[in-house]
Amino acid sequence: MSTTSTPPASHAANPRHRPSLSQRRSRPGEVLFKLALQFCLLVAFAFLVALIAFAVIKGWNRLDPRLWQEMPTGAASRVARAGVQSAITGTLWVIGLTAAICLPIGIASAIYLEEYADNTRWYNRLLELNIQNLAGVPSIVFGILGLGLIARVIGLGFTVITAAIVLSLLVLPVVIIASREALRAVPRSIRQASYALGATRWQTTWRQVLPAAVPGMSTGAILALSRALGEAAPLILLGAVTFIRFNPDSLLSSYTTLPIQIYNLIKEPQAEFQELAAAAIVLLLVILLALNSAAILIRNRFQKRW
Amino acid sequence: MSDPNRKAPDVTDTVSSTRPAPPPVALVNPANRNEGAPRGDDEQVLRLEDVNIFYGDYQAVRGVDMTIGRHQITALIGPSGCGKSTVLRSLNRMNDLIPGARVAGRVTYHGEDLYAREVDPIEVRRRIGMVFQKPNPFPKSIYDNIAYGPRVTGMRVSNMDELVEKALRRAALWDEVKDKRKQSALALSGGQQQRLCIARTIAVSPEVILMDEPCSALDPIATSKIEDLMFELSRDYTIVIVTHNMQQAARVSHRTAFFTAEVDEQGERHGRLIEYDTTNKIFTNPAQKRTEEYITGRFG
């Protein structure tokens, strides 16, 4: 676009009443708009970088194997030797169970809604509407439901399984919506081809539609789980209690998770606790970014051209 | 509707009493396939009697009567929106997949009502296959594309490799793909993909193959290959083809049905069958003025 490569205006064989092509005009509005857009992007990005930098600097002294080799402590005198191991294992237990509960249910619901449900029926439309509404319910509400229904009435108590069920309910709408998108992205022509060969609906879904939708579904699933990973609010109600000094060993163990642990550490006045909290934040961010990168990788790797 | 005597002509049904007694080909029992069916061009495979097709409240096709003969190529032609694809899809119940679609009247296959309550649409589609406008191979290998049909329909295949080879040879694709059967079908050219779709359809040994504008997405060379193939296949299969291309209908078909859209008293457009005859008659000496106008390019 540089003007040096265009011939001088005197050589241009333009009709006299038209401006020469080589007279580039400046357009201030154009430039301003672009700058404004870049500024907005910068604000969003700067906050993210500042957050990470702050956490890394503050927690630098504690970013070492103690973090995952040692158990948490409540005593200020022992905090220099403390870590967050039980929170890491607790998080793995809870998220692993959440995946095991919400993925099968979510994907099955999505298959029903996309492949089987007759959208002209009012009850199917009502279901759809409610799923979308559920996705907008604040997570603390799910926590209250879990406390009242699952922990108390059903009597599972403040355990790993209670937390996993509540987090599953929380992210289920996200899983369903993402899986439906993935199913919808599979071209109708593939289904028609399968039906025209005499395949049943189940065969068509299981052998053609699902395999083609798996990349999109796994992307959605990972994003949903990373949301569950960062949740603290409902678990506060569900007894992810302060300083658990042991790893969960069954579905009915007490537990704590990283976000809860971070919350508890930050409450303490001593600087040593704050440092440990910052280190735990870095760890949580690394796990989240790793999960999101995996989602992007899967999406790019398996994206299908039709 | 599910009483065991349903194959006996129903005297209360005026339409069925005027047609010959159907040979008992039970759609629910694959073992009866082709049993006692003599080879001959005069035999009717499909018959439409006063067929009306609706999408919800909208009537897309009105009052179609026609018969489709064995081992013939029948072409359905007409301007866009005349209902020819809708009629085609009604022949193997692909319309069932469209919410709100409904067929009234009778569509019979060897005399058996395709829309009777006890007929299994899955079984219908195993007998009456379909090739679509846009080539739509599965995102799998060439081999798996062909093996899919026999696998899902539970055909007892002693040698799948052999069946795949036969289907590919039959669709005139073998020489081009024999060394890359395990490669993705999506790597093939458009014309090759369409022949693969035909091979895939043949692999489940249907009696009838419906083709919905099979060449409209293809270049002339690929088109001519498909046309040769259709002609070749018509020795063993009954073919019904919808085409926008009149030359194609004239080149490949034995009989041609001309459809057009008509506006009724309420101002609604319906597809109607205007004329149905041998292709030669339709293209040289049509009985209807509208057919002639369409053939000669004066409307449509």
Q: What is the mean pLDDT of residues B266-279?
A: 91
| B18: pLDDT strictly greater than 70 | no
Q: Is A205 an 8 Å CB contact of chain B?
A: no
10-residue mean pLDDT profile of chain A (306 residues): values are 47 60 82 94 94 91 84 77 86 93 95 87 88 90 91 88 93 94 93 94 94 90 90 83 77 87 87 89 91 86 64
Q: Do A194 and B92 touch (CB under 8 A)?
A: no
Is A78 a member of any domain? Answer: no
pLDDT of residue B22: 41
**Contacts A199 to B, Cβ<8 Å:** 122, 148-149, 152-153
- What average pLDDT is seen over chain B? 84
Closest-CA residue to B166 (of B192, B143, B189, B140): B143
- Within 10 angstroms of residue B155's Cβ, the number of other Cβ atoms is 16
Q: Please say whether the dihedral angle defined by the alpha carbons of residues A58, A62, A63 and A69, taken in this order, is positive or negative.
A: negative
Q: Is position A175 within any domain?
A: yes
Structure tokens at B271: 């597809």
CB–CB of A199 and B148 under 8 A?
A: yes
Give me the half-sphere count of Cα atoms (radius 13 Å) on the Cβ side of residue B289: 0
B46/B22 Cα distance (integer angstroms): 11
A250 touches chain B (CB under 8 A): no
* Domain membership flag for residue B86: yes
For residue A38, being part of any structural domain is answered with no
Q: Is residue A17 part of a domain?
A: no
Q: Is the pLDDT of residue B38 over 50?
A: no
Say what the pLDDT of residue A270 is: 86
Flag whether pLDDT at B112 surpasses 70: yes
Structure confidence at residue B8 (pLDDT): 41
Domain that holds residue B103: 43-137+206-295
Residues of A in contact with B201 (CB under 8 A): 196-197
Both structure tokens of B12 = 């209360």
Q: How confident is the model at residue B98 (pLDDT cuts 50, 70, 90)?
A: confident
pLDDT of residue A249: 85
Q: What is the nearest CA distance from B245 to chain A, expressed in angstroms?
A: 22
Does some domain include residue A295? yes
CB contact under 8 A, A197 and B201: yes
- Condensed to tens digits (0 to 9), the pLDDT of residues A229-267 reads 988 888 888 876 666 778 888 888 888 889 988 988 888
The verdict on a CB contact (< 8 Å) between B125 and A198 is yes
Contact flag B125-A119 (C-beta cutoff 8 Å): no
Find the residue in B nearest to A202 (Cα).
B152
Does B145 reside within a domain? Answer: no
pLDDT score at A304: 58
Kindly state whether residue B110 falls inside one of the protein's structural domains. yes
In angstroms, the separation between the Cα of residue B212 and the nearest Cα of chain A is: 12
Q: How confident is the model at residue B3 (pLDDT cuts 50, 70, 90)?
A: very low
Indicate if ipTM > 0.90: no
Question: What's the domain range around A176?
Answer: 86-302
The pLDDT value recorded for residue A267 is 86
B80 found inside a domain: yes
Q: Is residue A201 included in any domain, yes or no?
A: yes
Residue type, A251: L
Domain count, chain A: 1
Q: Chain A closest CA to B244's CA: distance in Å?
A: 20
* The total number of structural domains that make up chain B: 1
**Is residue A148 in a domain?**
yes
CATH at residue B63: 3.40.50.300
- Please give the C-alpha separations between residue B76 and each of A166, B53, B71, B248, in angstroms, as whole numbers: 58, 16, 16, 11
Residue B110 has what pLDDT? 93
Tell me which residue of A231, A277, A222, A265 sits closest to A90, measured CA to CA. A231
Q: Does A39 contact B at CB distance below 8 Å? A: no
- CB distance A196–B152 less than 8 Å? no
pLDDT digits (tens, 9 = 90+) for B224-252: 989 999 988 999 999 999 998 888 999 99
The CATH number that applies at residue A250 is 1.10.3720.10
Which among A193, A198, A305 has CB closest to B126? A198
Answer whether residue B76 is part of any domain: yes
Is residue A112 in some structural domain? yes
- Contact of A120 with chain B, judged by CB distance below 8 Å, is answered with yes
* Res B42 pLDDT > 70: no
With a cut of 50, say whether residue B48 has pLDDT above it. yes
Chain B nearest-CA distance from A125, in A, is 15
pLDDT digits (tens, 9 = 90+) for B164-187: 999 999 898 999 998 999 999 999
pLDDT digits (tens, 9 = 90+) for B66-75: 999 999 999 9
Q: How far apart are CA B111 and CA B6, in angstroms?
A: 11
Q: CB distance from A200 to chain B under 8 Å?
A: yes
Task: Answer for the pair B248, B215: CB distance below 8 angstroms, yes or no.
Answer: yes
- Positive/negative CA dihedral, B132, B133, B134, B135: positive
